[in-house]
Structure formats: C-alpha cells, structure tokens
Chains A and B, each alone.
Chain A
C-alpha cells in the first residue's frame, strides 16, 4: 500500500498574530513553524496503515525552504521518503494552482491512498484535499475521525452537525483528517528517527519537472487576492466580581449582571 501524505507547514497554534506593515500579511518573525496539526494526524494515520499492510509512506510538500524542516520531522516520525515542490512562491499563485501542482506530483507517483489534513490552522480555507481529489478525478472522504482499510476499500467515520456518518470508497482515494490530538495521538519523532530522517530520500522538483508550465504559475494568476487584514476588536477589560462578597454573594451578583446588564439569561 503506497500512501502519499500532503503536508503543509504552519505557525504553531500558540503563535501571536500581528499584521505586517503592508496591511496584507502577518509578521512571521518569532513564529515557531510546525507541521500543520491536521496534516500531522494524516501522517500518523498513514504510518498506522503502513504498519498493518506494509508499503511506503511518502511526504509531499511545497513552498519555501523552511518547509523542509517540517518534511524532515515527518520522515523522523517514520515516513519513508519525500517529494518537495521547490517553488518558494507557489502559494501566492492561488489555491487552485497549489492543488494543480500537488495533483501533478501525485499523478507521477500513482499511490493507492492520499492523505492530508482537513484544514490548515493558518488560513483555514479547508480546500486543498477536495480540490486535489477533483483534479485527480478521484473520490475523497473528508474529515475522518477514524479510518479502516482492508487493502481494497477504505471506510471512515466523521461527525456532522448533530450526527455521525460512515463513508466508504474503493482505492485509490483521498482522505482528509479531522478530529484532534486526542483522537490521533500523533507520535513524536524519536532521536534514532531524527538521525535516520537525515538520510532518507528527499526529491526536489520544480514545476517543469512535473510537466507544468511555470509561466502559468504567477501571483497574477491568483483568482482571490487579499485586500487587507484586520485584528478582531479588542475586548474591553471586564470586571472581577469581588466587592468583599462571599461565594453566595458573588454567584448572586453574577446572575444579576447576566440578567440586567448583559441580558443573556
């Protein structure tokens, strides 16, 4: 079973977001870059399936050189090799272009399964997986919180507003991963894993290597453009309910405020 995991690097979720001088981008100084958490769940799920069915897990990523660190981390977790689309500005060409480049790289590998996170914790567009599946002409199963694979078919469970769905597909299929750290419990890279990862094969590919015309991949081709960023309105400092009241007094005061001032009860 050959599995490709599409991986993106994002700032850690503890990162503080500040708007840069151009008003359209965020200040990246001081960011701790990590594997997008949902992609990390996908890596873990891929490694588990490999442990059961054998085969190979290939990491596929793209973007500037800093992303290679995230790719190496996934190799240290236990993935076998990696393909890196070495195009620093790929993301500025728009999400359709990213998905086309990723799909082109996948076609060359013809895997049985493609995994990726259901969304990235930066722009939260939740589109990469389904878009890549559409460009591949494959089915996809989204937002898996559990997965089973018997070598011919894959079935997943996912939550829906007020319910649960089980979906199934024959191979090849793309699966996106939802859930949380508690569901997937992604493994840490061990020290021997980190040492081994340094020697694992990582292929760099340019757009031309994927049979794509680089002239079609420019920021001018992006269909959606960022106009401006804004921070959410600062919340006014609230009040600590104290006033020398005992527990009962505080509880009574809170009920009064919620009713009379906030009018939410």
Chain B
C-alpha cells in the first residue's frame, strides 16, 4: 500500500473541535486525489473513546495517545508524542488545524520531523500527484502558492472556517489503534484553563461581525455596537485605533496586528479603513461601512456605504433591524 494522508486531530474538553472535521474532510479529498488511504493522529485525555467518530469524515484509521496528562496542550509534551504517531502513519502529506494550538504544534513538528511547513493554508490542490498550498501573506494583502521540493513531505496547517466540511456519514467509524504513551519529562505545564462561558460570540469563526473604530469616540459608545450585535447574534470587533485607545480588549482587534476575519457580513462603524485594518477584513463576503466622512477609504471596500453620523444612524438602524426580525418570527 502506498503512503497515506495523515490528519492531526484537535481534541479539547471531551470533543473534537469543528476544525478537526474540516481538516479530515480536506484530508479525504486529498487522499482520494492521490489514491491513498486517510489516517489520523489524535492525542488527548479520553480521546480513545471518541476517536472512531473520525470515520464519519472519511478517516480509515486513527493512531491514538490517551493519557490524563495530555488534557491541556503543552508543546513540550505533545510534540514528541504526536511526532511518533505521525511516523507510525508513514504519511506522504500531513495536514492539521491552523488553530491557536495547531499552529504552535505545527511549527515544533516541522523542526522535529524536518518537514517543510506552510501555516494557515486556505486552499490545497493536487497537481500531477504533487501538492500545492495557498496561504495569505501580509495579512491577506496578497496570497502565496507554495510547493515542496522533490521527496519532501508537505506539512500544512489549514485555516479554520475556510475549507468545507463533509456531511458526516454516521454509519462509518474509523479503526482505532491505541498506542502506549511514554510521557516525556517536561519542564513546562498548564496551570489553568478558563473557558469563556458568557456565550459571547468569538471573532474567529463569527458569521457576522460589528466592528468599531476611532469614530466611536469613547469606550461607552461601543454599547451602540453591542446592541446591534445582540440583534444580529454577531461578534464585536475593533480597529487598532480603538484598541490602542483602551476602549476594547486587544483580543477584539481586527487587522494585520490583530485577527484576520472572514465573516459573511462585516459592519464597520466609525472606521476610516487604514490599510492594516482592510487587510484583516477584506475577505469578508459582504461589507457595510457607516462613516460620516464620504472620502474614508473603507468605502472603497464596502458593498453598502452609509455616509451619516454614526450616533444618529446606529440607533435607527438597530430599530429597523428589530422590526425586520420581529416580522420574520
């Protein structure tokens, strides 16, 4: 049998994260194009019980390392264990999530396995049996297609929410091969893991984002955006100017030195549209801009522009949306 495609699963809090299903689906597509099997590697506490589920997304066999000490991700511990499992797969290609932990693990694996890594890929193609991977550079101002030298094993992390997910086939399950774990001696550890239980929608992966900039004038005025976000079930973002002013936490920053987002709808309120911000949201499907300055660069990117004072427009817009929503229900 020829070499396989290997998928590295991400498991947290008792479940595979959605991005794992996306990566498995992409792996299935690549494996079919190469005519090879699809295998996976899964590491975590309690992951053995769930591993067979990956079969629903086309994985044939899963190598599993299950140990309570693998509960939280720590690079020093996870890297050698994942690397050993990957080598058991003997893959032609390895793909994994470009999540926060995934990118970190990918970089360490690249050094350990001496495998060339492309992070945060948005598209993978197979041409004449060879892999090419596309990734955004300069925060999406440009895209870069990469290939691998002959005989090199591609290692690719995939941007979440970009590659599609197969409809799960509940009738299928993967063969699970539980591997004896030897925990490496580690000097680093996870002290605490606090998951946000507020139910607030996070920026990465949000379908709709309402974002505010300098035009909001002060922190308290973000309540205008919170109101809108509540109606639309949206996440709230901010420009660098708003974050630098201390109006919003840094985790909300959209742009080249913040998060790169790609929602269906991005509503930019009081944001002029500095190039570093445009880079971070330019791939949104639809962009709405509200700004009183008709010459603001944001209007060159916006599908729909409103040239109005935001303090006048936003409350009215929220009311109109509420009316629309109640007419739907």
Q: Which of B135, B190, B240, B256 contacts A167 (CB 8 A)?
A: B190
**Interchain nearest-CB distance for B277 vs A (Å):** 10
Residues of B within 8 A of A225 (CB): 146-149
Quick check: B145 and A224 within 8 Å, CB to CB? no
Residues of A within 8 A of B117 (CB): 95, 125, 127, 224
Quick check: A142 and B104 within 8 Å, CB to CB? yes
- Contact flags B265-290 to A (C-beta < 8 A → 1, else 0): 10000000011100100110111100
Given contacts A96-B114, A168-B188, list 12 more A-B pairs with CB under 8 A.
A17-B141, A121-B257, A122-B138, A163-B196, A220-B149, A237-B300, A238-B287, A238-B303, A247-B312, A251-B320, A262-B304, A264-B264
Quick check: A131 and B110 within 8 Å, CB to CB? yes
A224 to B120: give the CA distance in the assembly, Å. 14
Q: Which of A94, A158, A250 contacts B313 (CB 8 A)?
A: A250
- Residues of A221-265 at the interface with B, using a CB-CB cut-off of 8 Å, are 222-232, 235-242, 247-248, 250-252, 254-255, 257-259, 262, 264-265
Q: Tell me what chain B mostly uses at the interface: helix, strand, loop, or mixed.
A: mixed
Quick check: B305 and A239 within 8 Å, CB to CB? yes
With contacts A170-B187, A181-B240 known, is A227 near B147, CB below 8 A? yes
Q: Which of A14, A167, A179 contacts B191 (CB 8 A)?
A: A167
The chain B residue with its CB closest to the CB of A100 is B111
Q: Which of B74, B100, B274, B301 contacts A143 (CB 8 A)?
A: B100
Quick check: A130 and B75 within 8 Å, CB to CB? yes
- Residues of A174-229 at the interface with B, using a CB-CB cut-off of 8 Å, are 179-183, 220, 222-229
Q: Which of B17, B195, B243, B257 contacts A163 (CB 8 A)?
A: B195
Quick check: B143 and A180 within 8 Å, CB to CB? no
Q: Which of B75, B283, B313 has the most CB of A within 10 A?
A: B75
Residues of A within 8 A of B188 (CB): 139-141, 167-170, 173
The 10 closest A-B pairs by CB, nearest first: A223-B116, A169-B188, A127-B107, A139-B188, A134-B111, A130-B107, A224-B116, A180-B250, A139-B76, A131-B111
- Contact flags A114-149 to B (C-beta < 8 A → 1, else 0): 000000011111111111111100011111010000
How many residues on chain A are close to B (CB under 8 Å)?
A: 88
Q: Does B39 contact A (CB under 8 A)?
A: no
- Residues of B237-253 at the interface with A, using a CB-CB cut-off of 8 Å, are 240, 243-244, 246, 250-251, 253
How many residues on chain B are close to A (CB under 8 Å)?
A: 99
Q: Does B211 contact A (CB under 8 A)?
A: no
Residues of B within 8 A of A239 (CB): 303-305
- Contact flags B72-112 to A (C-beta < 8 A → 1, else 0): 10111001000000000000000000011101101110111
A142 to B188: give the CA distance in the assembly, Å. 11
Quick check: B187 and A139 within 8 Å, CB to CB? yes
Residues of A within 8 A of B75 (CB): 130, 133, 139-140, 142
Q: Which of A16, A125, A254, A255 contacts B119 (CB 8 A)?
A: A125
Q: Does A164 contact B (CB under 8 A)?
A: yes
Q: Does B219 contact A (CB under 8 A)?
A: no
**Interchain nearest-CB distance for B238 vs A (Å):** 10
**A contacts, CB < 8 Å to B:** 11, 13-17, 19, 26, 37-38, 94-96, 99, 121-135, 139-143, 145, 155, 158-170, 173, 179-183, 220, 222-232, 235-242, 247-248, 250-252, 254-255, 257-259, 262, 264-265
A231 to B305: give the CA distance in the assembly, Å. 24
Quick check: A232 and B141 within 8 Å, CB to CB? yes
Q: List 20 A-B contacts (CB under 8 A).
A: A13-B257, A17-B142, A122-B138, A124-B135, A126-B104, A131-B107, A131-B108, A134-B108, A141-B188, A145-B250, A164-B196, A180-B257, A180-B258, A227-B132, A229-B145, A230-B145, A231-B141, A236-B303, A255-B324, A265-B324
With contacts A222-B149, A224-B148, A262-B303 known, is A126 near B141, CB below 8 A? no
Quick check: A251 and B143 within 8 Å, CB to CB? no
Q: Does B186 contact A (CB under 8 A)?
A: yes
The chain A residue with its CB closest to the CB of B247 is A182
Quick check: B110 and A238 within 8 Å, CB to CB? no
Q: Which of A122, A164, A231 contacts B143 (CB 8 A)?
A: A231
Q: Does B181 contact A (CB under 8 A)?
A: no
Quick check: A255 and B132 within 8 Å, CB to CB? no
Quick check: A258 and B304 within 8 Å, CB to CB? yes
Residues of B within 8 A of A95 (CB): 110, 116-117
Q: Which of B246, B276, B307 contacts A242 (CB 8 A)?
A: B307
Quick check: A14 and B275 within 8 Å, CB to CB? yes
With contacts A127-B107, A232-B142 known, is A155 near B148, CB below 8 A? no
Q: Does B139 contact A (CB under 8 A)?
A: yes
Quick check: B288 and A14 within 8 Å, CB to CB? no
- Residues of B123-176 at the interface with A, using a CB-CB cut-off of 8 Å, are 132, 135-149, 152
The chain B residue with its CB closest to the CB of A252 is B320
**Interchain nearest-CB distance for B308 vs A (Å):** 6
With contacts A231-B143, A239-B304 known, is A37 near B257, CB below 8 A? yes
Quick check: B308 and A247 within 8 Å, CB to CB? yes
Q: Does B215 contact A (CB under 8 A)?
A: no
A223 to B253: give the CA distance in the assembly, Å. 34
A30 to B107: give the CA distance in the assembly, Å. 32
Q: Which of B110, B114, B187, B316 contacts A127 (CB 8 A)?
A: B110
- Residues of B38-64 at the interface with A, using a CB-CB cut-off of 8 Å, are none
**Interchain nearest-CB distance for B122 vs A (Å):** 11
Q: Does B194 contact A (CB under 8 A)?
A: yes
